Structure 1
Amino acid sequence: MQPRNMSMSGVVDLAAVKAAGEAKAKAEQARAESARQGGTPAVPPSALVIDVDEAGFESDVLQRSTEVPVVIDFWAEWCQPCKQLSPVLERLAAEYAGRFVLAKIDVDANQMLMQQFGVQGIPAVFAVVAGQALPLFQGAAPEAQIRQTLDQLVQVAEERFGLTGIAVDADAAPGAAPEAAAVPVGPYDALLEAAVQALDAGDFAGAVQAYRNVLVDDPENPEAKLGLAQAELLGRVGKLDPQVVRKAAADAPADVRAQIDAADLDLVGGHVEDAFGRLVETVRRTAGADRDAARLHLLGLFEVIGSDDPRVVKARGALARVLF
């Protein structure tokens, strides 16, 4: 089974799942009851990844989803892509530290659940938020794409249902906490300096390559990730004719390529909110591959500005409202 994206805008019809409004009310009631009882106790890291079967689905997934988003990993022992994807999801569950819980469902032993969710092939990943089921993606997707999807999921869970996750007691189970990140091979000062010099000289291709050289050894290096996003943006914009791009974007609001190019120009020109707003509107107007292209490009522009920037936070919320 080749990896393919599944639209995040659909909702799976399960007999056990309540309507969205009822689900939200249920989530609010659960939080109120928890508050009256002194709050939900912290869970050990081992509780962030659970095996679920048909008998426990109601309590382990539906009820739990009133407190925290539950990501479901449909897998099987014989499935080789599953063996690539599952460890990534388990590691991210630990890294996200209670912002979602990972439920693993063996399709061979739980055919009814597989049918209820309409699973066509595995690995397949869904989420349940306040009793509402959403398809996320299918296949062993790249980790960067998985992170973007999870970021959107936890934000929607918080904004629409007030689900901020569960507390994790890292000391509850010695040795179960996420392993400390390995010390990067480094140092990367020379490569990073070379990238900056290439940027200053207008050699965007050289800067891109220098940043990628750092990321080969240290994939999470924040300076290299940010620099790469900026260098790629500048490289794209350098090939554009602003007048042609602006006219094309104005004449064809539904032309995804034109809107992407115009958003790049907006961002480089300092019009950050205009760039974000343009692509959010493009996502709203489009569907299928065009919508995915606009969404993924917008997520890439978020990387250029930085996830903590208030403009990014605001735009993520707008994007989530359009998608869901």
Structure 2
Amino acid sequence: MTRCERVAGSMTGAGATVARMSPVITSPLVSSQWVADHLGADDMVVVDVSVLPVRDRDGAATGRFTTGRGDYLEQGHVPGAVFGDLIRDLSDDRAALPFTRPDVERFAEAAGALGITTGTTVVAYDSAGGPWAARLWWLLRAAGHDDAAVLDGGFTAWAAEGRPVDVGGVEPEPSVFVAHERPGVWVDKPFVEAVVRGDERAALVCGSPRAEFDGVAGARPRLGHIPGSVNVPSTELVDDALHFAEVDQLEAAFAPVLEAEKVVVYCGQGIAASADALALVLVGHDDVALYDGSLDEWTGDDDAPLEALAA
């Protein structure tokens, strides 16, 4: 399957833009042309959910993050896009672990505040190759809202293509979003422990960078990965322009787990894993779950086993 089949709207020519076309999502990934064709549609909400790493004086990542709202306001955004705060509003900021998913009621409130209803087509994007946008897509999927997609290439590709950019904020029109929690899209630590013991049948995929998976880098006191996992780093799912790889390339990356009845994805904090989940859905796997606590929770338990290739 080629990208033009996989990414909705990628065959549309630049001269074929039709204003206010009724948006129809046929893939969890949409092209910038598709978004341009549908900008202004009353039943579509575009959400910038960019999150930025906090770096030290030497430019090294600290493992902490800050909202991308400042860049959204000052450096620009897709015209009409609202800003969604994944650190505070779209996560449970009262939980012990960062980016913990909110309960269904809190998520419904946050989605409604962004102007999302059960009849809204949602396009999420970020400036980092898609993991943050994939997180919102996954949260919507978990809430039973399938009319959502990620902008392929994100804001980086949008701006590089010379498409219009607005600065300043867009105030959303608050709406009512009714969530219908979908079973099976989240798993907890006891389930993953059962997989490791062999009491549950599932393949484990870690979306963290290879150095963290191998146990040679990372900010956690305990390094490595959950035993039995395969490593498909989310950063390797996209090309230099931050477009997702072709389906045959994604199939090759996930080949060790595609025959598994169920695939559980995880990473450090459930963000990179969301991009892996998106890629698995793109290649047609229909039973994917995300371990939300991921390595932040797993490594916090001294009795939880870890494997490290560096050991």
- Indicate the TM-score class for this superposition, using the shorter chain for normalisation: under 0.3
TM-score by length of 1: 0.27
TM-score by length of 2: 0.27
The higher radius of gyration belongs to 1
Greater strand share, structure number:
2
Greater helix share, structure number:
1
